[in-house]
Amino acid sequence: MKLKYIYYAACLAGAMAFASCSDDDIDHSVSVIIDSGRVENDFDRWLYHELVLPYNIEVKYRYEDIESDMDYQLVPADYQKSIQLTHLMKFLCLEAYDEITGSKDFMRSYFPKMIVMTGSAAWQNNGSKVLGQAEGGRKITLFEVNEMDPTNIALLTEQYFHTIHHEFAHILHQTIPYDPSFDQISGSMYRGDNCFDYYTTDARAQQDGFITRYSATEGAEDFVEIISMYVTNTPEYWDNVMATAGDGAKIIEQKFNIVYNYMNDTWNIDLNTLRDIVQRRSVEAVDLDVDDLTIPSDEKPEEIPLS
Ligand SMILES: [Zn+2]
């Protein structure tokens, strides 16, 4: 089943108003908000040290109605699978950008602040399933976490990390726009939601100058698909796509030049270097201990000696 990306524009449903009330009879030593028996576990502590403190990113793996999509029937994410996927996402996405930018500041500034994990796939009426979706620049939801195999990096990249790179690239161009001439290269060839009906294979889309079928939706999707496809695939894969594309290769290369210059000039990120990093990490990821919840001792708060 082909992964389908859904990008929802952030939508403000109206400001919530909190009525003020008298604080008579309130015990200020106890929170008035009662959590339903939630106990902090090793994964919570690891997340706090490895994602909240350095990046200000919250991973929600416990099922919460308010953060899930009411349009689908969904089941909670498995605890161990959530740990494994978080490790891999951190290693293959966050730390790849850390490596090229030289610090965690870039991802701390721009990466979505919330990752929501859900156990099952989100099935749509047309029989396709959604494996990842993003809302504005705030939240990324990853579905079907319970089915994932932490050793199959290629499949995980196709299912999840491609989507994460795709969504993150949206945040970058929404922060600083790309050259509008990009959208004119394919101009009236963009087909909106009909792209999957019109192009039945990626090869057909590539022959028309789109790196994937989804690229044919609109300019912004085309732009971020090029970034994501470029960094999550090997140079050999890219060369094969160009060979498949035939006359379309010239169009893809023309678009790629704009994408490459945008990333290089705007964000000081060389896509060739980023691709090398992501590809190297994809090989190394097989040896990663994806179940490890050890917090490095130098990151633990200093213990105060007893007097
Ligand atoms: Zn998108």
CA 246 to CA 187: how far, in whole Å?
20
Domain locations along the chain? 40-149, 176-292
Instruction: Report the distance separating Cα 140 and Cα 111, nearest Å.
Output: 10
Task: Give the model's pLDDT for residue 104.
Answer: 98
Ligand 1 centre distance from Cα of residue 283 (Å): 26
Residue 82 C-alpha to ligand 1 middle, in angstroms?
A: 24
Q: DSSP letters of 224-236?
A: HHHHHHHHHS-HH
Domain 40-149 has what CATH class? alpha beta
Q: Is 57 helix (H, G, I), strand (E, B) or coil?
A: coil
Residue 6 CA, ligand 1 centroid: distance in Å? 6
Indicate the residue type of 146: N
- Residue 250 CA to ligand 1 centre (angstroms): 23
Ligand 1 centroid – CA 25 distance (Å): 50
Query: In a 3-state reduction of DSSP, which class is residue 130?
Result: strand
Q: What is the pLDDT of residue 37?
A: 63
Owner of token pair 């160009």: 242
CA of 134 to the centre of ligand 1 (A): 8
pLDDT of residue 69: 66
Of all helices (H) and strands (E), which one includes residue 58? strand 58-60
Strand order across the beta sheet in which 58-60 lies: 6-8, 132-135, 139-142, 114-117, 58-60
Sign of the CA dihedral 269, 222, 257, 232? Answer: positive
What confidence tens digit (pLDDT) does each residue in 145-201 have?
999 999 999 999 998 999 999 999 999 999 999 999 999 999 999 999 899 999 999
Same fold, 40-149 and 176-292: yes
- Kindly report the CA angle at 140 between 145 and 36, in degrees rounded to 5? 70
**Pair type for strands 132-135 and 58-60:** unpaired
CA of 142 to the centre of ligand 1 (A): 14
Burial (Cβ within 10 Å: 0-12, 13-18, ≥19) of residue 31: exposed
**Exposed / middle / buried, residue 307 (Cβ in 10 Å: 0-12, 13-18, 19+):** exposed
How many angstroms does the Cα of residue 227 sit away from the middle of ligand 1?
A: 11
Q: Can you give the pLDDT at residue 1?
A: 34
pLDDT of residue 150: 96
- Is the pTM value of this prediction over 0.85? no
The pLDDT value given to residue 18: 29
- Cβ pair 142, 85 in contact under 8 A: yes
Contact of 104 with 63, CB cutoff 8 Å:
no
Q: Which residues of the chain have pLDDT under 70?
A: 1-37, 65-72, 126, 298-307
Residues with Cβ within 8 Å of residue 7, at least 6 apart in sequence: 133, 134, 167, 170, 221
| CATH class of this structure's domain 176-292 | alpha beta
3-state helix, strand, coil in the chain (%, to 5): 55, 10, 40
Q: What is the largest CA-CA distance in the chain?
A: 77
DSSP 254: H
